[in-house]
Amino acid sequence: MNRAESKYFHAIQILEDNCTGCTACVRVCPTEAIRVRDRKAYIDPYRCVDCGNCVTVCEFHAIIPASDPLDIINNYKYRLAIISSSFFGQFSEDISYANAKEAVLRLGFDEVAEEASVTDFMIKMIREYIRENREKRPILSSNCPAVVRLIQVKFPSLLPNLFHQEAPMSILTRFLREQICQKMGLKEEEVGIFLIVPCVAHVTAVHQPEGAYKHLQDGAFSTGMIYGKVREIIKDVQNHPSDIDTYPHGLTWALSGVQAELVDADDIRALSVNGIDNVMDILSRVEDHYLDQYDYIVLRSCTNGCVGGCLNVENPFVAMSRIKKMIKEGHSADADITDLETLYRKGEFQVSPLAPRPIMELDKDIKKAIQKMKKINEFLTMLPGLNCSACGSPSCYALAEDIVLGKATLDDCVVLKRKPTDIE
Amino acid sequence: MAEYWYFADGFEERVRGHLSSSSEAEVDLDFTIPEKDFNAAGKGSSELKNLLKRLGVDSDVLRWIAVASYEAEINVAAHSKGGLMKSAVHDDLIHVSFIDDGPGIADIEQAMIPGFSTADDLVRELGFGAGLGLPNIQKNSDAMHIVSERGNSTLLEFFIFFG
């Protein structure tokens, strides 16, 4: 998606030459953001939430995740990588957590930090926030950017329920940038901070953060790309390892269920939900106040949480099992969180309230919307009801809606087009 | 034949006015509710909610409609031999009616008492039947109307205005 084309940037790119117009992506999109017209898929940037379903389902390499190339780190004097917690579940068990982390450092960074190092702080902050905001129930986790955008487009009435504080990698970015500048005597723009991320939603969030008061990171690299480069040099690291701190206990952040267990307490009831279809079902019930008995709901768009991200290389269940093993067997370095707590109490990690981006409404005026719905129903009775997507819209209903909104015509229906000749 | 009417403050005239005008619905949505099928029960109200989101109905009003229709749909599935859910969207209100195949409500006044329930073990095992269905529908609607007789079918309808 060309950034100049729309006010919404997305880390998903369609390669027209590879697209066969098969409509597999159209059918898996949870917000019905994709249409195929003239045998090519295109994404409505307003509706897309960057869940990555289309990237995973495309067999023709026509929908590819756009992340940054590694050489952009050369534009900075000091380079810091922040690794997302799911990263360490990607490697086979002969490659240790510490070796994998050190290999990332040797790719050209001056320092490597881990999302997992602030997990304890996050859990503490989330619990405090839940206790201080008794009037809001349930509080919804805001770390998954795809979930945040899903709420903006399909469940805008739930925006006030979001946990209104920065996500761990953003907290680390703010904290470490300041620390590095002071320690090294560098200007802010001389320090490059990059995330290694498991999904396109996080790449999008780096380039277009929602609710952040300022642009935080300087780039995002896909786990898959970094994984490949780490594999190339891992033997050398294994033969000449050096001392490096790791935070296995914090890796829980990558696993949706385990995070909920950590927040759970005598006075806090937490629920964990993952997979975007489950997330939508739960959000719909939260809207109707059927889940008010929960204080906190961890919502992750991908299967099992961030280990299920589409930029990962390992199966989410295997990655989860490996991470659980690391948590059980490892010893975490002590992370000093007093400075972070001071910043939190000063309100440094607050995010601005998010604006709704409703996609469902047919019209701002309810009377006009009703008239449009009436027309949609009229077209719907003319359509075959096969929901075959051959027209390029996800269902017969969606085509009827597209026709009424002027984005398609009845001629787009492949089945109707054939009928008259059959009858003759 | 027993009949029960409830009107929220100030709504009796509006509802009676609407009924006497016998205006035709702009958009209809019908659903069949099978007996004791708790996998399917809830689909009708969820579809209705999607329809109303497309119409841009205010989120508070949307929630009242979603809760009232969900409770009523579960009631039909849990207590009757199955029935029909009919939603009629007008310019300024929604009228949702549920018509089942019996066996009727023995005592409507009693059924309106929060916590009173005649749900059988199967229904309770599935987590329904707390005796809050009808009171909840009433609480969330601008008007509610029940017509029932023991041994016969029940009509439950509610009206919720958009503004």
Q: Are residues A173 and A114 in the same domain?
A: yes
> B127 pLDDT exceeds 80?
no
Q: Which two tokens stand for residue A417?
A: 């087009």
> A58 pLDDT exceeds 70?
yes
Q: Are residues A118 and A13 in the same domain?
A: no
Q: What is the mean pLDDT of residues B28-32?
A: 93
- pLDDT > 70 fraction of chain A, expressed in percent and rounded: 96
Q: Are residues A174 and A242 in the same domain?
A: yes
Q: How many residues does chain A have?
A: 424
| Boundary residue ending a domain (A42, A66, A90) | A66
Q: Do A361 and B27 touch (CB under 8 A)?
A: no
> A397 pLDDT exceeds 90?
yes
Q: What is the mean pLDDT of residues B146-154?
A: 91
Phi-psi region of A381 (alpha: psi -120 to 50; beta: other; left: phi over 0): alpha
- Where are the strands (E) in A4-100, listed by range? 12-14, 34-37, 40-43, 63-65, 78-83
Q: What is the mean pLDDT of residues A140-165?
A: 94
- Residue A103's identity, in one-letter code, is A
Contact A254, A85 (CB under 8 A): yes
Q: Which of A156, A287, A370 comes nearest B55 by C-beta?
A: A370
Q: Are residues A54 and A95 in the same domain?
A: no
Distance from CA of B77 to the nearest CA of A (A): 19
Residues of B in contact with A157 (CB under 8 A): 59, 62-63
Distance CA A107, CA A112 (A): 10
pLDDT digits (tens, 9 = 90+) for A295-324: 999 999 999 999 999 999 999 999 999 999
What's residue B154's pLDDT? 94
> Which residue do the tokens 């841009």 mark?
B56
DSSP string computed for A93-136: TTS-HHHHHHHHHTTT-SEEEEGGGGHHHHHHHHHHHHHH-TTS
Q: Are residues A368 and A241 in the same domain?
A: no
Lowest mean pLDDT among A257-261, A405-409, B21-25, B81-85: A257-261
What's residue B132's pLDDT? 76
Residue in A277, A359, A370 to test binding to B, most B beta-carbons within 10 Å: A370
**Residue A214: pLDDT band with limits 50, 70, 90:** low
Q: What are the sequence ranges of the domains in chain B?
A: 2-19+30-156
How many domains in chain A? 3
The domain that holds A416 is classified in CATH as 1.10.15.40
Nearest Cα residue in chain A from B163: A366
Q: Do A373 and B63 touch (CB under 8 A)?
A: no
Torsion of CA B3, B6, B11, B16, to 10 degrees: 0
Q: Is A411 helix (H, G, I), strand (E, B) or coil?
A: helix
Q: Do B26 and A370 touch (CB under 8 A)?
A: yes
Residue at A353 is within a domain: no
Contact A326, A97 (CB under 8 A): yes
Q: Report yes or no: B56 at the A interface, CB cutoff 8 Å.
A: yes
Distance from CA of A351 to the nearest CA of B (A): 24
Q: What is the mean pLDDT of residues A281-286?
A: 94
Residue at A355 is within a domain: no
Crossing angle of helices A256-263 and A119-132, rounded to 10°: 60
Residue at A145 is within a domain: no
Residue A190 CB-density burial (10 A; 0-12 exposed, 13-18 middle, 19+ buried): middle
Distance CA A338, CA A340 (A): 5
Range A206-226 burial, b when 16+ CB lie within 10 A, else e = bbbbbbbeeebbbbbbbbbbb
Nearest Cα residue in chain A from B62: A288
What residues form DSSP beta bridges with B6?
A: B144
Q: Is this model's pTM higher than 0.80 or not? A: yes
Q: Which of B49, B63, B91 comes nearest A370 by C-beta?
A: B91
pLDDT digits (tens, 9 = 90+) for B44-65: 998 999 999 999 998 889 989 9
Contact A366, B56 (CB under 8 A): yes
> B82 pLDDT exceeds 80?
yes
What's residue B129's pLDDT? 77
Contact A194, A74 (CB under 8 A): no
Q: Do B56 and A284 touch (CB under 8 A)?
A: no
DSSP string computed for A231-278: HHHHHHHHHS-------GGGGGGG-HHHHHHHH-BTTB-EEEEESHHH
The whole domain housing A381 covers: 362-424
Distance CA B33, CA B61 (A): 24
Q: Which of A156, A358, A377 comes nearest B27 by C-beta?
A: A377
Residue at A53 is within a domain: yes
Q: Do B56 and A364 touch (CB under 8 A)?
A: yes
Residues of B in contact with A379 (CB under 8 A): none
pLDDT digits (tens, 9 = 90+) for A226-242: 999 999 999 999 999 88
Q: Do B59 and A157 touch (CB under 8 A)?
A: yes
Residues of A in contact with B89 (CB under 8 A): 370, 373
Q: Are residues A127 and A17 in the same domain?
A: no
> A422 pLDDT exceeds 60?
no
Strands of A191-197's sheet, edge to edge?
A111-114, A78-83, A191-197, A219-222
- Say which DSSP state A350 is in: B
Q: Do B91 and A287 touch (CB under 8 A)?
A: no
pLDDT, averaged across chain A: 91
Residues of A in contact with B51 (CB under 8 A): 373
Q: Which of A289, A365, A366 comes nearest B63 by C-beta?
A: A289
- pLDDT > 90 fraction of chain B, expressed in percent and rounded: 61
A262 alpha-carbon distance from chain centroid: 21
Q: Do B59 and A364 touch (CB under 8 A)?
A: no
> B67 pLDDT exceeds 60?
yes
Beta strand B93-100 with B155-161: parallel, antiparallel or unpaired?
Answer: antiparallel
Distance from CA of B59 to the nearest CA of A (A): 6
Q: Report yes or no: B26 at the A interface, CB cutoff 8 Å.
A: yes
Distance from CA of A348 to the nearest CA of B (A): 32
Q: Report yes or no: B25 at the A interface, CB cutoff 8 Å.
A: no
What's residue A4's pLDDT? 39
Q: Which of A288, A365, A374 comes nearest B66 by C-beta?
A: A288
Q: Are residues A203 and A242 in the same domain?
A: yes
Q: Do A288 and B70 touch (CB under 8 A)?
A: yes
Nearest Cα residue in chain A from B91: A367
pLDDT digits (tens, 9 = 90+) for A347-358: 888 888 888 888
Strands of B83-89's sheet, edge to edge?
B2-7, B143-148, B155-161, B93-100, B83-89, B27-33
Q: Are residues A5 and A61 in the same domain?
A: yes
Q: Are residues A176 and A228 in the same domain?
A: yes
CB proximity list for A247: less than 8 A, separation 6 or greater: A114, A116, A117, A119, A332, A333, A335
> A5 pLDDT exceeds 50?
no
A398 alpha-carbon distance from chain centroid: 25
* Backbone CA torsion sign across A5, A6, A11, A17: negative
Nearest Cα residue in chain B from A362: B54
Q: How many residues does chain B have?
A: 163
Residue in A152, A284, A288, A404 to test binding to B, most B beta-carbons within 10 Å: A288
Nearest Cα residue in chain B from A374: B27
Residue at A391 is within a domain: yes
- Say which DSSP state A353 is in: P
pLDDT digits (tens, 9 = 90+) for A93-114: 999 999 999 999 999 999 999 9
Residues of B in contact with A361 (CB under 8 A): 53-56
**Residue A212: pLDDT band with limits 50, 70, 90:** low
Nearest Cα residue in chain B from A367: B91
What's residue A34's pLDDT? 97
Distance CA A257, CA A302 (A): 12
Q: Do A370 and B67 touch (CB under 8 A)?
A: no
Say how many C-beta atoms besides its own lie within 10 A of residue A61's C-beta. 10
| Boundary residue ending a domain (A66, A87, A102) | A66
Q: Is B100 helix (H, G, I), strand (E, B) or coil?
A: strand
Q: Do A369 and B55 touch (CB under 8 A)?
A: yes
Q: What is the mean pLDDT of residues A36-65?
A: 94
Q: What is the mean pLDDT of residues B113-135?
A: 82
Q: Report yes or no: B136 at the A interface, CB cutoff 8 Å.
A: no
- pLDDT > 90 fraction of chain A, expressed in percent and rounded: 75
Q: Are residues A58 and A89 in the same domain?
A: no
Instruction: Assign domain B2-19+30-156 to its CATH superfamily.
Output: Histidine kinase-like ATPase, C-terminal domain (3.30.565.10)
Q: Do B55 and A362 touch (CB under 8 A)?
A: yes
The domain that holds A211 is classified in CATH as 3.40.50.1780
Distance CA A378, CA A399 (A): 12
Distance CA A212, CA A349 (A): 9
The domain that holds A28 is classified in CATH as 3.30.70.20
What residues form DSSP beta bridges with B159?
A: B95, B143
Q: What is the mean pLDDT of residues A359-373?
A: 92
| Boundary residue ending a domain (A37, A66, A95) | A66
Q: Report yes or no: A405 at the B interface, CB cutoff 8 Å.
A: no
Residue at A334 is within a domain: yes
Secondary structure element (H or E) that encloses residue A155, with its range:
none
Q: Report yes or no: B63 at the A interface, CB cutoff 8 Å.
A: yes
Contact A92, A231 (CB under 8 A): no
What's residue A1's pLDDT? 38
